[in-house]
Amino acid sequence: MKIKLTISGVMILFLLSGCMFPQEKRAENQVPYENQLASVQQAVDQYKKDNNVLPIKTKDENTPIYQKYVIEFNKLMPRYMQEPPGNSFENGGFYQYVIINPEEEAEVKVIDLRIMREIQELQREINKYINKNEYAPIEEPIGPGVYSIDMEKLDYHRDAKVQSPYNDTYLPLIINEHGNVLIDYSIDLNIALREYDHDYNQGDDIRKLLTDNSPIVPAFSIPYTIDENGEPTFKEE
């Protein structure tokens, strides 16, 4: 099956280079970020109250939902914040601050950018393969519009996995019909479904179970729901 490459919003963060964390050894980058998150939330809330808009960067409408509303700290400084928090990407940290539910409570969350390095490297190799062969190195379909990657065909000699931002486990990398690398959060969702109370039904997007119980968003993901057995499964968009 041939799948041609297109460029989507998922590629925006791929502009970050291998030296994307020039100050990553700074002590404040290693501190738990609850206080930083709270300070950004307060600044965002006050900015929204004063200006009736959110302090976010303009993104393409096709940008995945959890990467779409990135906070633009220049709009918050210096009136609402003196500087971005020490653990933010803008200040040499590991986290990209974003907003979810912008039409409602405009809740501040973060993307853990440490997952970027493996995604970026694999995406480069897949792009090279598609440019050469005019189709993606897919192995088999695993859900609507998503596929496992044929690593032998790609001749990629590293595990196509990233460290979970939620649990002590590794998550597989998969590919969509546009040739973009995604993260399969099924393992984390399976754990969350058992760990937290919920009332999700078939057809509901259950990724909210992760954002309700963690400050980290499931970046590079597609919607998931539950099957008839209550197990996580890919949801058709």
DSSP string across 116-156: HHHHHHHHHHHHHHHHHHSS--EEEEEETTEEEE-HHHHT-
Binned average pLDDT, 10 residues per bin, the chain of 237 residues: 44 41 45 81 97 92 91 96 93 94 94 92 94 92 93 85 95 93 97 93 94 95 94 88
Which residues neighbour 230 within 8 Å (Cβ) at sequence distance 6 or greater?
Answer: 193
Question: In this predicted structure, what is the pLDDT of residue 84?
Answer: 95
Helix (H), strand (E) at residue 211: helix 208-212
Question: In this predicted structure, what is the pLDDT of residue 22?
Answer: 44
Closest CA to 97 of 219, 222, 212: 219
